[in-house]
C-alpha cells in the first residue's frame, strides 16, 4: 500500500503534513534566518577544513615522496593510523554521537548551564583514556598482530615487523590526545563555537610537514630496496615522535578557546547519581556500533597489508588511505560542516518530538550535501590520473603514481552513498536511537567484510586497493538504503518526491558539467599525454573551473537552489566575492 504521507499528488491533493511544515518553515522569516545560520556556521567550519585539507595534501605528498607507496610506506602508515582507530573503537562513538545531545540538554536544563556535567565528562574521559593508552603502549606487539597480515610473521619479515612495533610504541600515546581533542571540540560545538575544531588540525599538519621535510633532509627519499624494507632506529624516532607531537598540538590549541566561552575546567569525581547513567545506557549501543565498524576496518587494514607484503608492485594501505583522504574532502568540507552545525538544532527538535521539523532539516541538509558530493564524484574519474601525479608524483613515489588513479576514480561512488548514510544517522542520534544505528551498521560492516574478502581474494596484488574501494562502496549502498528507509518510516516521510526531483535535475546538471570537464581534459591530453606535475596542476585547475562554472550555470537554468545556496554561503566568506 502506498504511503500517502510521502507521495507526490496533483493540484488539489490532500496536504502532506511534513511538506506543509517545510513550506511553512521556508516562509517564516525566523526559520529562514535559522537555516542561513546553519549554512553560515557550516561555511566557517568548511573554511577551516579547506585549509586543513590543503595542508594535509602537502603532508600526503611529502610522505609519498619520502617513503613511497609500497611496503616501506605501509610500515609507518599502518602504525600511525592504529591510534585513531583504537580511539574511535574505545571512545570515539560515545563522544561524537552521544555526548553532544547530552551536552545540549544539560546546558538547557541544568541550573549551572551544564558546567558540572561537562567537568565530570572531561575528568572521566581523561582517566579512562590515560589508563587505556598506557596499557596499549605496553601491549604494542600484540596490538599490531591484530592489524597485520600473517605474512609479517615470516622469518624474512622480522626487521619489517620490528619497525612496525617501534612505530606503534611511539604513536599509541596519540589515543589519549585524539580523545581529548574530540571531546573538547564537541564541547565547543555545543557552546556554539564551531570554528576552532576545524582549524586545529592545521597545527598537526604543520608539524607533520616540518617533520617530513627534516626527514627528507636528513635521510633522503627511499630508494631501491628501501621502498620495500624496514627503517633505522633514527628514522623510527623522528617519524614516530613527530607524528604524536602533531596530535598533542591539535588538542592543546583548543584549550584557550574553551576558556574563552566562559567555561573553566575543575576536576569532578562525583560520577554517581548525576545523570551519567543515562549517557552510558545510550553509549552501550554506540560502543557496539563502533566495535562492529572497527572490526570491518580491521579486516580492511589486514587485507591491505597483504597487498604490499605479497609483491613489490602491489597496492596496499598507503594507496587506499591516501586516495580515501582525497575522497573525503567534500565530505569533510561540506557534509561534516553541515551535520555539525545542524546537530544541536536536530537535538532540540527531537527533544520536543518535532518529527516534521527534524525531517525538514535533514531533507534540506541532505540535498545541500549532495549538491556538492555528486558532481565531485562524477569528476573524480576524469581527473584521477592528473590528481595522482600532482599530489604523489615526487621522490620515492614518482614511479608508482599510476597505482593511485584506479582507487581514486572508484571512490566517488562510495562517497555518494556514504553521505546519505552519514546524514541519516544524525537523525537517529538526535532521537537517541543508538540501538537502531547499531543494527544498521551490522549490515554495513558485514557487507564490507564479505565483499572485501571475496574481491581481494579474486584480485592481484596490484588490484588490492581498488578491490577494497569497491567493497567500501558496496557496504554503503546497503547502509544508505536501510538507514534512509527506516528513518523515513520513523519520521513519517523525508520528502522523498522532492529529493527525487532534485536528484534528477542535479544529475542532468552534473552530467553536462562533467562532460564539459572531460572534453577539456581530453583536449589537454592530446597536447601532452603525460604532463609534468606542474602542468598537471594547471590542467586540474582549468578542468575544475570548467566543471564548476558549467555546473553553476546549469543549476541556475534548472533552478537548483541547493547548489546556488551552497555557493553563495561560501562565497560570502571570501571578501573579494562579497556583493556590495
E strand or H helix at 108: helix 100-109
State which of 30-39, 75-84, 115-124, 209-218 shows the largest mean pLDDT.
Answer: 209-218
pLDDT at site 40: 57
- If you ran DSSP here, which 8-state letter would residue 450 be given? H
Q: Which three cell numbers stand for residue 68?
A: 613511497
Lowest average pLDDT, out of 184-193, 208-217, 238-247, goes to: 184-193
pLDDT at site 571: 60
For 304-341, how does the pLDDT look when each residue is reduced to its tens digit (9 = 90+)? Answer: 998 888 777 889 999 999 999 888 888 877 777 777 77
Question: Is residue 16 predicted with pLDDT exceeding 50?
Answer: no
Contact 359, 491 (CB under 8 A): yes
pLDDT at site 273: 57
Sign, CA dihedral 444-446-450-452, equals: positive
pLDDT band at residue 97, thresholds of 50, 70 and 90? Answer: low
Detail the DSSP E strand segments found in 294-341: none
Sign, CA dihedral 192-194-197-200, equals: negative
Question: Is residue 343 predicted with pLDDT exceeding 80?
Answer: no
pLDDT at site 95: 65
Q: Which three cell numbers stand for residue 548?
A: 564548476
Alpha carbons 243 and 299: distance in angstroms, whole number: 24
Question: Is residue 296 predicted with pLDDT exceeding 70?
Answer: yes
Question: The whole model's pTM is what?
Answer: 0.79
More confident site: 127 or 2: 127
Concatenate the DSSP letters of all residues of 237-270 into one string. HHHHHHHHHHHHHHHHTTHHHHHHTT--------
Q: What average pLDDT does this structure show over 146-175?
A: 91
For 118-136, how does the pLDDT look when each residue is reduced to its tens digit (9 = 90+)? Answer: 888 888 888 989 999 999 9
Alpha carbons 496 and 512: distance in angstroms, whole number: 24
Structural domain boundaries in the chain: 17-577
The per-residue pLDDT of the chain, averaged, comes to 83
pLDDT above 90: percentage of residues in the chain:
43
Question: Please, what's the b/e burial string for 497-533 (b: 16 or more CB within 10 A of its CB; e: otherwise)?
Answer: ebbeebeebbeebbebbbebbbebbeebeeeeeebeb
pLDDT at site 65: 93
pLDDT at site 27: 41
How many Cβ atoms sit within 10 Å of the Cβ of residue 174? 27
What lies within 8 Å, CB to CB, of 380 at 6+ separation is: 327, 408, 409, 411, 412
Lowest average pLDDT, out of 43-47, 311-315, 417-421, goes to: 43-47
More confident site: 231 or 45: 231
User: What burial class does residue 242 get, using C-beta atoms within 10 Å of its C-beta: 0-12 exposed, 13-18 middle, 19+ buried?
Assistant: middle
Sign, CA dihedral 221-225-229-230, equals: negative
Nearest CA among 337, 304, 336 for reference residue 322: 304
E strand or H helix at 277: helix 276-310
Nearest CA among 197, 98, 22, 5 for reference residue 425: 98
pLDDT above 70: percentage of residues in the chain:
83
pLDDT at site 462: 92
For 190-205, how does the pLDDT look when each residue is reduced to its tens digit (9 = 90+)? Answer: 777 767 877 788 888 8
Question: Is residue 14 predicted with pLDDT exceeding 80?
Answer: no
Alpha carbons 94 and 274: distance in angstroms, whole number: 18
Alpha carbons 380 and 416: distance in angstroms, whole number: 12
Q: Which three cell numbers stand for residue 16?
A: 502532506
Amino acid at each position: 500500500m502506498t504511503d500517502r504521507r510521502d507521495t507526490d499528488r496533483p493540484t488539489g491533493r490532500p496536504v502532506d503534513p511534513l511538506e506543509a511544515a517545510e513550506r511553512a518553515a521556508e516562509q517564516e522569516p525566523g526559520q529562514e534566518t535559522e537555516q542561513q545560520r546553519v549554512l553560515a556556521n557550516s561555511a566557517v567550519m568548511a573554511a577551516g577544513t579547506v585549509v586543513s585539507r590543503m595542508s594535509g595534501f602537502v603532508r600526503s605528498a611529502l610522505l609519498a615522496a619520502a617513503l613511497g607507496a609500497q611496503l616501506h610506506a605501509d610500515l609507518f602508515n599502518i602504525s600511525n593510523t592504529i591510534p585513531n582507530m583504537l580511539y574511535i573503537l574505545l571512545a570515539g562513538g560515545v563522544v561524537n554521537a552521544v555526548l553532544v545531545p547530552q551536552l545540549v540538554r544539560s546546558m538547557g536544563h541544568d541550573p549551572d548551564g551544564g558546567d558540572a556535567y561537562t567537568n565530570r565528562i572531561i575528568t572521566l574521559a581523561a582517566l579512562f583514556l590515560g589508563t587505556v593508552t598506557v596499557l596499549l603502549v605496553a601491549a604494542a606487539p600484540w596490538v599490531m598482530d591484530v592489524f597485520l597480515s600473517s605474512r609479517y610473521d615470516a622469518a624474512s619479515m622480522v626487521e619489517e615487523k620490528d619497525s612496525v612495533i617501534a612505530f606503534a610504541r611511539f604513536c599509541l600515546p596519540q589515543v589519549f590526545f585524539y580523545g581529548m581533542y574530540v571531546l573538547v571540540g564537541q564541547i565547543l560545538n555545543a557552546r556554539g563555537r564551531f570554528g576552532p575544531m576545524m582549524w586545529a588540525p592545521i597545527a598537526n599538519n604543520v608539524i607533520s610537514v616540518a617533520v617530513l621535510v627534516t626527514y627528507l633532509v636528513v635521510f633522503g627519499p627511499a630508494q631501491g630496496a628501501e621502498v620495500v624494507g624496514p627503517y633505522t632506529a633514527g628514522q623510527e624516532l623522528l617519524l614516530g615522535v613527530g607524528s604524536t607531537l602533531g596530535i598533542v598540538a591539535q588538542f592543546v590549541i583548543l584549550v584557550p578557546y574553551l576558556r574563552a566561552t566562559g567555561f573553566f575546567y575543575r576536576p569532578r569525581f562525583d560520577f554517581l547519581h548525576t545523570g551519567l547513567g543515562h549517557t552510558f545506557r545510550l553509549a552501550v549501543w554506540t560502543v557496539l556500533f563502533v566495535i562492529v565498524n572497527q572490526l570491518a576496518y580491521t579486516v580492511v587494514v589486514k587485507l591491505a597489508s597483504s597487498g604490499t607484503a605479497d609483491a613489490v608492485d602491489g597496492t596496499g594501505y598507503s594507496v587506499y588511505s591516501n586516495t580515501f583522504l582525497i575522497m573525503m574532502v567534500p565530505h569533510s568540507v561540506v557534509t561534516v560542516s553541515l551535520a555539525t552545525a545542524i546537530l544541536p538544532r536536530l537535538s532540540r527538535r527531537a527533544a520536543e518530538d518535532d518529527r516534521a521539523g527534524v525531517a525538514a532539516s535533514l531533507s534540506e541538509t541532505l540535498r545541500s550535501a549532495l549538491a556538492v558530493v555528486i558532481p565531485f564524484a562524477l569528476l573524480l574519474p576524469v581527473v584521477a590520473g592528473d590528481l595522482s601525479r600532482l599530489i604523489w608524483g615526487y621522490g620515492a613515489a614518482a614511479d608508482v603514481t599510476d597505482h593511485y588513479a584506479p582507487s581514486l576514480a572508484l571512490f566517488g561512488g562510495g562517497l555518494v552513498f556514504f553521505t546519505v548514510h552519514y546524514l541519516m544517522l544524525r537523525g537517529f542520534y538526535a532521537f537517541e536511537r543508538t540501538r537502531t544505528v547499531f543494527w544498521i551498521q551490522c549490515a554495513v560492516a558485514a557487507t564490507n567484510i564479505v565483499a572485501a574478502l571475496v574481491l581481494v581474494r579474486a584480485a592481484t596484488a596490484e588490484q588490492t586497493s581498488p578491490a577494497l574501494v569497491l567493497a567500501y562502496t558496496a557496504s554503503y549502498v546497503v547502509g544508505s538504503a536501510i538507514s534512509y528507509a527506516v528513518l523515513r518510516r520513523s519520521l513519517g516521510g523525508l520528502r522523498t518526491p522532492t529529493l527525487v526531483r532534485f536528484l534528477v535535475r542535479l544529475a542532468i546538471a552534473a552530467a553536462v558539467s562533467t562532460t564539459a570537464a572531460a572534453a577539456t581534459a581530453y583536449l589537454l591530453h592530446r597536447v601532452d599525454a603525460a604532463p609534468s606535475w606542474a602542468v598537471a596542476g594547471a590542467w586540474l585547475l582549468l578542468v575544475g573551473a570548467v566543471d564548476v562554472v558549467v555546473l553553476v550555470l546549469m543549476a541556475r537554468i534548472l533552478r537548483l537552489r541547493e547548489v546556488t545556496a551552497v555557493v553563495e554561503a561560501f562565497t560570502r566568506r571570501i571578501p573579494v566575492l562579497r556583493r556590495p
